[in-house]
Amino acid sequence: MGMLTFKRFRGGVHPPEKKLTSSEPIKVAPLPDKVIVYMQQHAGAPAKPVVEEGQQVKTGQLVGEAQGPISAYVHSPVTGKVIAVTKVSSSVHGTMVEAVVIERTGEDQWELLPKIDFERATKEELIDHVRLAGIVGLGGAMFPTHVKLNPPKPVDTLILNGAECEPYLTIDHRIMLEKADEIILGVEIVKKILNVKKVYIGIETNKRDAIELLTKKWKSSVEVVPLPTRYPMGAEKQLIKFITGREVPSGGLPADVGVLVQNVGTVLAIKEAVIDRKPLVERGMTLTGEGVKKRGNWWIRIGAPISWVIEELGGGFVDGYEEIKVLMGGPMTGIPISSLDTPVLKGNNGITVIPEQKRNSTNCIRCSYCVQVCPMNLQPYLLDLLARKKKYDDAAEIGLLDCIECGSCSYICPANVEHVKSIKLAKKVYRSLRGGKR
Amino acid sequence: MKLLTSPAPHIRTADSTADVMLDVLIALSPAVAAATYFFGLQAFILSIAGMISAELIEFFIMRVLRKDKNFVPNGSAAVTGLLLALNVSVATPWWVLLIGVLFAIAIVKHAFGGLGQNIFNPALAARIFLLVSFPTAMTTWYPPIGKFFGTYADIQTTATPLAVLKLEGFNSAMQKFTYTDLLFGNIGGCIGETSALLLIIGFLYLVLRGRIKIVIPATYLGTVFAISSIMYLVNPEKFGTPLFHLLAGGMMLGALFMATDMVTSPMTLKGQAIFGVGCGLITMLIRYFGGYPEGVSLSILLMNAFVPIIDRYTQPKIFGRRKS
């Protein structure tokens, strides 16, 4: 695959894979006694709470209503009593967010979604059902799935993302191994919604068993594409380019090249919503890293506090660390949380607990490593320079908004320049100066 | 338990600027060894003195003048100091080298902003500075005496192969020096310009470690080879052979270690190719038609000045954008 790989996937890095939990079956986590359900667990407008303090709620009951076209419903992950509807400081969002806090009073009593006959339902009915289930992209982007399933342009290709190129994380790997039959049902639903014929699944070659299993099980219905184990192979644009050869235009969407990408976990959630009538209140998650005692893959309720996750599921922090990093996600793009009260969110594919690595930083020495590894073919050193000089227009001209924030540049940088940090900040400032327009 | 929130990515290569610089020093060590073998202890002393004085000067500038209390030496000054030492004659007085190092670090590097900010290669700029300021010391060459503790007081000076070519022609040069002499370094010249072979070995180490913008030496040496081949066909006696030009003078040291200096060379592959071709072209123009027998240093310095403009016009095509 040498030449083809080079042509279709440029740059990237190969950090230590550290898939510590790839042979741990996904276990069902016990129910947390308290959940903190953020009203903003998706891209777009926050949901509005529709429950009051003191109210009894069932598992799956609506607690937050979507606001506006790009937003998502939020449901109660447990059966219990609402003890607060309040604003909490979120270290993930960096601002205050509204949250519904629920104390569990017993075992699950489900409030299921309305019945839908998948065979007979129309495309619109299916999309609406996904909307009611509050499903968002579970790979981490948390974009509302019902919006994504209604692309502005017709698509002819569906790609399932099973790359899982982030080091440490193994939940997608386990889901593919354990839920192959369920995922394929989800694929049928999505195929019906999009009316596409061609379906691919991309899986990195460090997951041989999943590649073999799905090739055997799914036969010709889905083409299994082995991907080089190279970060960020699972980034949407890179994945599309590698599998189809199509290049999503700058500032455009996958639909511009007739493609739609779904994470395997999201497709599984779609199946559960349509067939089992379950809204999105639980997800698969990897708890991993050298800083936590027990590592594993879990089916976990959304809203479970991370302090509880680390104590109950992880057996606590490994002794001897005075300071540590708790990441929502993997080590390349994960968000470090500043408070263990932060709950598990819908897009939370993993919690990675790792000690801080020492960073000796100097000025940029122009080694050009960052230019070589950038999968978007940008010049990270120059973006960083312009961003720090507040020359946002100049930065935009050389691709500020094209940066996918994968972190390959900072990973490889011998001078430990914080390209991603300054690029993220510059994007924010540039967008606000431009009134939110691209 | 304290939770840390430094920005993503949360894992980094263990690599550092100091590691990069250490690799360059390791890559230059065979050349230092060769110089010591051919020119004696004095060559070794000058090399070490260059490195130490450069680091001390930089340390003073950073800690005292620039008031950076956290400054830790990273080896970049040592690289400059060593490269400058390799660029002088073994008979150069120590204080001349010291003035050169001071010029390289204080003026060429730190007056322009310090590490990573300088436009010109500090060692090369200092070499030219010394050449202009101390023309005699900088153009007095001795043959290798092969004695470890030898002194140069009563040794007859010699000419470099390129000077012989320029003044007496190719036949005369080939009577004085064989290709084997050029390859192993048994010739008069700068401390580090002698053994092409050991410079290539050091270079291969850098390639293996991924520390080198490899397009630059490839295009630089390729251009020199192409031009000297053509000129050889025009007039072999006057212009010499391609192999002679590749092995003589500062060609290997310049193409492998000076032109590839990370800070002062272009960032994209296309830019590096343009840079390399430019270096080759100017080097040969100077060698054939210039007043000096050697043009490597000047050509690289000239091309250094073009790096910002080369970078500007060789920007890569961004993913998802049309070629502009």
Give the domain ranges of chain A: 2-22+122-274, 369-433
Cβ-defined contact of B4 to A324 (cutoff 8 Å): yes
| CB contact set of A274 (below 8 Å; sequence gap of 6+) | A116, A118, A126, A129, A130, A186, A189
Distance (Å, whole) CA A299 – CA A26: 6
CB pair distance less than 8 Å for A410 and B9 = yes
Nearest Cβ partner of B8 from A323, A414, A420?
A420
Distance CA B100, CA A199 (A): 66
* Architecture (CATH level 2) of domain A2-22+122-274: 3-Layer(aba) Sandwich (3.40)
Chain B contact set for A235 (CB, 8 A)? none
Share of chain A above pLDDT 70, in %: 97
- Those of residues 417-436 in A touching chain B at CB distance below 8 A are 418, 420-421, 424
What is the β-pairing status of strands A323-328 and A335-336? Answer: antiparallel
C-alpha distance from A170 to closest chain B C-alpha (Å): 17
Q: Are A266 and A189 in contact (CB under 8 A)?
A: no
Q: Are A157 and A248 in contact (CB under 8 A)?
A: no
Closest approach of A398 to chain B, Cα-based (Å): 8
- Assess contact for A379 and A345: CB atoms under 8 A: no
Is A165 annotated in some ligand binding site?
Answer: no
Position B153 confidence tier, pLDDT thresholds 50, 70, 90? low
For residues A252-263, average pLDDT: 96
User: pLDDT grade, residue A137 (50/70/90)?
Assistant: very high
As a whole number of angstroms, the distance between CA B155 and CA A97 comes to 83
Amino acid identity at A284: G
Tell me whether B8 touches chain A (CB under 8 Å): yes
Rounded Cα gap, residues A174 and A164, in angstroms: 11
In this prediction, residue B1 has a pLDDT band, given cuts at 50, 70 and 90, of: confident
| Cα A240 from chain centroid (whole Å) | 17
Among B6, B12, B315, most A C-beta atoms within 10 A, so best to mutate, is B12
Residue B175: is its pLDDT beyond 90?
Answer: no
- Write out pLDDT tens, residues B223-245: 999 999 999 999 888 888 999 99
CB atoms within 10 A of CB A117: 8
> CA–CA separation, A27 vs B25, rounded Å?
53
A290 touches chain B (CB under 8 A): no
**Over the stretch A91-132, which tens digit does the pLDDT of each residue have?**
888 889 999 999 999 999 999 999 999 889 999 999 999 999
The vertex-B184 CA angle with B181 and B190, nearest 5°, equals 85
Cβ atoms of residues B255 and B298 within 8 Å: no
Residues of B within 8 A of A337 (CB-CB) are 3, 5
Q: Which residues of A touch B212 (CB under 8 A)?
A: none
Q: Is A245 on the interface with B (CB under 8 A)?
A: no
pLDDT band at B170 (very low <50, low <70, confident <90, very high): confident
Q: Judge whether residue A1 has pLDDT over 50.
A: no
Domain ranges across chain B: 17-138, 161-309
Q: Supply the Cα-derived Rg of chain A in whole angstroms.
A: 21
- Report whether pLDDT(B106) > 50: yes
The 3-state DSSP class for residue A140 equals coil
B68 in contact with chain A, both atoms CB, cutoff 8 A: no
Q: A164 Cβ partners below 8 Å, 6+ apart?
A: A170, A171, A172, A173, A203, A204, A207, A234
Higher pLDDT, A331 or B159: A331
Q: What is the pLDDT of residues A140-192, one digit of tens each?
A: 889 999 999 999 999 999 999 999 999 999 999 999 999 999 999 999 999 99
pLDDT of residue A7: 62
Contacts of B262 in chain A (CB under 8 A): 365-368
B312 touching chain A per CB within 8 A: no
Residues pairing with B100 in the sheet: none
User: B300 vs chain A: nearest CA distance in angstroms?
Assistant: 17
Q: Is the pLDDT of residue B26 over 80?
A: yes
For chain B, the residue count is 324
Distance CA A267, CA A271 (A): 6
Residue A376 has pLDDT above 80, yes or no: yes
Give the SS3 label for residue A402. Answer: helix
Ordered DSSP codes for A65-134: E--SSS---EE-SSSEEEEEEEEEEETTTTEEEEEEEEEE-SS--B-PPPP--TTT--HHHHHHHHHHTT
Q: Is residue A143 within 8 Å of residue A262, measured between CB atoms?
A: no
C-beta atoms of A249 and B76 within 8 A: no
Ramachandran region of residue A397, left (φ > 0), alpha (ψ -120 to 50) or beta? alpha
Helix axes B269-289, B215-234, angle to 10 degrees: 30
The single residue listed with the structure tokens 């939370």 is: A348
Q: What is the mean pLDDT of residues B50-71?
A: 96
Ligand-binding site membership of A403 (annotated): yes
Give the separation between CA A210 and CA A257, rounded to whole angstroms: 28
Indicate if the pLDDT at residue A438 is higher than 60. Answer: no
Q: ipTM for the complex?
A: 0.92
Within 10 angstroms of residue A387's Cβ, the number of other Cβ atoms is 23
The answer, yes or no, to whether residue A2 has pLDDT greater than 50, is: no
Q: Which of A367, A411, A438 to mutate to test the interface with B (most CBs of B within 10 A)?
A: A367
> SS3 sequence, A370-389?
HHHHCCCCCCHHHHHHHHHC
Banded pLDDT at A436 (limits 50, 70, 90): low
Sign of CA pseudo-dihedral A318, A324, A325, A326:
positive
How much of chain B is helix, strand and coil, in % rounded to 5? 65, 0, 35
Of A247, A365, A421, the CB nearest to B319: A247
Q: What is the dihedral of CA B33, B38, B40, B45, to 10 degrees?
A: -40
Residue A314 tokens read as 């992880």
| pLDDT score at B179 | 84
Whether residue B275 has pLDDT greater than 60: yes
Q: Is the dihedral of CA B290, B294, B296, B297 positive or negative?
A: negative
* Residue of chain A with shortest Cα separation from B5: A336
Length of chain A counted residue by residue: 438
> What is the distance between the alpha carbons of residues B288 and B281, in angstroms, rounded to a whole number?
11
Q: What is the mean pLDDT of residues A221-227?
A: 95
DSSP-assigned letter for residue B257: I
Tokens describing residue A202: 């991309």
